Amino acid sequence: MSAPAAILPDAPRATVPPPVIPRPLIELERVAVQFGKGEGAVRALAETDLRIEKGDFVALVGPSGCGKSTILKLVSGLLKPSAGNLFVAGREIGAEDVRIGMAYQNPTLLPWLTVRQNVMLPLKIVQPYRKHWRAKRNGEYREKAEALLAQVGLRGFGDKFPWQLSGGMMQRTNLCRALIHEPDLLLLDEPFGALDQFTREELWATMQDLWSTKRTTVLLVTHDLREAGYLANRICVMSARPGRILEDCAVDFARPRSMDLLYTPGFVALTQRLRELIIGVRTAATL
Amino acid sequence: MTNILATLRAKAPSTALILGVFVVWEVACLAFGISDIVLPRPSQILATLWDRWPALWPHTYQTLYTTLVGFGWGVLIGVTLGVSIGSSRLAFETAYPLLVGISSIPKVAVVPIFVLWFGAGTVPAVLTAMIICIFPIVVNVATGIATVEPELEDVMKTLKASKLDILWNVGLPRAMPYFFASLKVAITLAFVGSVVAETVASNRGIGNMMMIASSSFNVPLVFAGLFILAGLGVMLYLIFSFIERRVTGWAHRKTDLAVTT
């Protein structure tokens, strides 16, 4: 599949002074998160170390309530760590120029905008696109949105409204909205969780396709081990609350991966091992 | 042509019901020999409206004027308050109890105070209409803005959208259906406000006219006043429904347009 994004030159990036040693895009150093204070405090995340290289595709899996989404919120800057250091692109969180795209399970499309207008929303908000919004919204930006929509299989749906789409199509639109501003980092919080099995598998393929052409760094939070195994380069397994990373395993199946991969012995062995790890964690937590 | 027929067919039951009520009213008055001092027949009321229209028109104009001016100010103040309360949790939690307190005062009770401050006439009517329609607008606009999905807010925040960006791109458009729903309530309430104020202290307006007519037992004229108020209320309601459908059509989605994969 060709890369429609290549039609347009990359947007000029803000100049970041080159770091002396190449550092990973995301670094968590003994980061902990605690909600509340004193007796009633809840430790959501134990001291956690995590490094994600630029261009990597990392999946976070673990039992529910283990702090997977907390890590996403930390990285996106929505949440401040209670302890430890968090660097994104070599800088303390909050001061960075990193562009972030985000997609949740709930597509949260704006019902009063067409699919195309929804996809273009980040261009209206994020610099450097924002300053050319008025001049380019009917030209370059529109074409950019159409190209991205075509890549996820929604060619010709730009003028529809979100409520005219199926759940899978809405989630495709949501992915486009998270990617239109060419983010350095894409954060996915169970984006395919609410879809039926077949739609989900279609979207996995779409996601792999998008990642292969754009090489955006992706951090995916999921419950689905097959999803993690199919999509990610690395899977981090988290313990029960307060969460920490138990195991960090590389997934080195050749790309592009096909759905048949899911039924090969190697893949089954991987998901089985991960499953046992998580079940072990769950039983340990309930004991 | 088929469109017009379809519309007529859709409207037929409600039109029939309205006409039916009037017919039953007319027939019942005739059958039971009800005196027109107790309950005039619709035909008598319409005749009174026709005969007395030149004298009724200035009152109608006065009531419409005070209602619309009061409503206009109410919308302006209501939207301003609603946006500021809805866009900040602190403001919402601080101001909401006070607003509930104010709203639970029967607005009729403040008319004497307005009369005391501003004298009888137009000003108390405008103020009463205004104060009575502020609350539903504030509550609706604030609710529309305050109930933006948290996930959507997170998405906007990770795009480094400012509070103003979120308000402008998400909060305000989202509040539009709530706002128009409140407008339809507010415009009918505004009539209540101005008519009550006219009844208490004014020498013009439908409320005042009805007071004078009832003190002279001109019951058909009282009912003519009611008919005028009903007509004005329905007219303004229709105008706002029309604007609502134009502006917030997305909120009244038609499922038959949906496409599936």
Minimal Cα–Cα distance from B258 to chain A, Å? 4
Residue A48 and residue A88 in one domain: yes
Q: How far apart are the C-alpha atoms of A253 and A234, rounded to whole Å?
A: 11
| Parent domain of B175 | 40-249
Query: A187 and chain B: CB distance < 8 Å anywhere?
Result: yes
Residue A281 and residue A240 in one domain: yes
Query: A169 and chain B: CB distance < 8 Å anywhere?
Result: yes
Return the sign of the alpha-carbon dihedral for residues B175, B179, B181, B185. Answer: positive
Contact at 8 Å (CB) between A220 and A60? yes
- A193 lies in some domain: yes
Residue A90 and residue A199 in one domain: yes
pLDDT at B255 over 80: no
Query: A26 and chain B: CB distance < 8 Å anywhere?
Result: no
Task: Tell me how many residue pairs between chain A and chain B have CB atoms under 8 A apart.
Answer: 71
pLDDT score recorded for residue A25: 83
Which domain CATH number covers A226?
3.40.50.300
pLDDT score recorded for residue A10: 54
- A123 lies in some domain: yes
Q: How far apart are the C-alpha atoms of B209 and B201, rounded to whole Å?
A: 12
Query: B159 and chain A: CB distance < 8 Å anywhere?
Result: yes
Minimal Cα–Cα distance from A77 to chain B, Å? 7
Domain boundary residue, one of A133, A166, A183: A183
pLDDT at A142 over 60: yes
Q: What is the mean pLDDT of residues A53-70?
A: 85
- B22 lies in some domain: no
Contact at 8 Å (CB) between A195 and A107? no
Query: A170 and chain B: CB distance < 8 Å anywhere?
Result: no
Cβ count near B89 (within 10 Å)? 10
Q: Which residues contact B225 (CB under 8 A, 6 or more apart)?
A: B56, B59, B206, B207, B209, B210, B213
Tokens of A265: 């012995």
Residue A133 and residue A73 in one domain: no
Q: Tell me the pLDDT band of A5, cut-offs 50, 70 and 90.
A: very low
If one counts the domains in chain A, the total is 2
pLDDT score recorded for residue B6: 82
> Sheet containing A100-104: which strands, arranged edge to edge?
A100-104, A185-189, A217-221, A57-61, A234-238, A245-250
Select from A62, A93, A65 the least CA-distant residue to A79.
A93
Query: A263 and chain B: CB distance < 8 Å anywhere?
Result: no
Q: Inter-chain contact B158–A101, Cβ cutoff 8 Å? A: yes
Minimal Cα–Cα distance from A107 to chain B, Å? 9
- B78 lies in some domain: yes
pLDDT at B9 over 60: yes
Q: SS3 string of A82-126? A: CEEEEEECCEECCCCCCCEEEEECCCCCCCCCCHHHHHHHHHHHC
> Sheet containing A91-92: which strands, arranged edge to edge?
A42-52, A26-35, A83-88, A91-92
Q: What is the mean pLDDT of residues A160-188?
A: 89
Residue A147 and residue A286 in one domain: no
Cβ count near B127 (within 10 Å)? 26
Please report residues of B whose CB lies closer than 8 A to that of A167: none
pLDDT at B74 over 90: yes
- A230 lies in some domain: yes
What distances in angstroms separate CA A228 from CA A237, B54, B110, B146, B230, one per listed residue?
Answer: 10, 80, 65, 35, 64
Q: How far apart are the C-alpha atoms of A199 and A201, rounded to whole Å?
A: 5
- B32 lies in some domain: no
B154 or A18: which leads in pLDDT: B154
Pairing of strands A42-52, A26-35: antiparallel
Chain B nearest-CA residue for A163: B258
Residue A137 and residue A260 in one domain: no
Which domain CATH number covers B162?
1.10.3720.10
Lowest-confidence segment of A3-7, A131-135, B240-244 by average pLDDT: A3-7
Contact at 8 Å (CB) between A90 and A23? yes
Q: Which residues contact A200 (CB under 8 A, 6 or more apart)?
A: A192, A224, A227
| Parent domain of A114 | 109-183
- Torsion angles phi and psi, residue A138, rounded to 5: -100, 0
ipTM of this model?
Answer: 0.78
Tokens of B170: 């998400």
pLDDT score recorded for residue B75: 95
Select from A196, A206, A213 the least CA-distant residue to A230.
A206
Residue A64 and residue A205 in one domain: yes
Query: A200 and chain B: CB distance < 8 Å anywhere?
Result: no
Summarised one tens digit per residue, pLDDT across range B204-240 is 889 999 999 999 988 999 999 999 999 998 899 889 8
Query: A164 and chain B: CB distance < 8 Å anywhere?
Result: yes
Contact at 8 Å (CB) between B228 and B56? yes
| A196 backbone φψ class: left, alpha, beta (φ>0; ψ -120 to 50) | beta
Mean pLDDT of chain A: 82
Domain boundary residue, one of A183, A207, A237: A183
Q: Inter-chain contact A125–B253, Cβ cutoff 8 Å? A: no
Chain A nearest-CA residue for B249: A112
Q: Which residues contact A280 (CB under 8 A, 6 or more apart)?
A: none
> Which of A78, A124, A163 shows the shortest C-beta gap to B158?
A78
pLDDT score recorded for residue A12: 55
Q: What is the mean pLDDT of residues A258-275?
A: 88
If one counts the domains in chain B, the total is 1
Contact at 8 Å (CB) between B158 and A188? no
- B254 lies in some domain: no
A95 or A212: which leads in pLDDT: A212
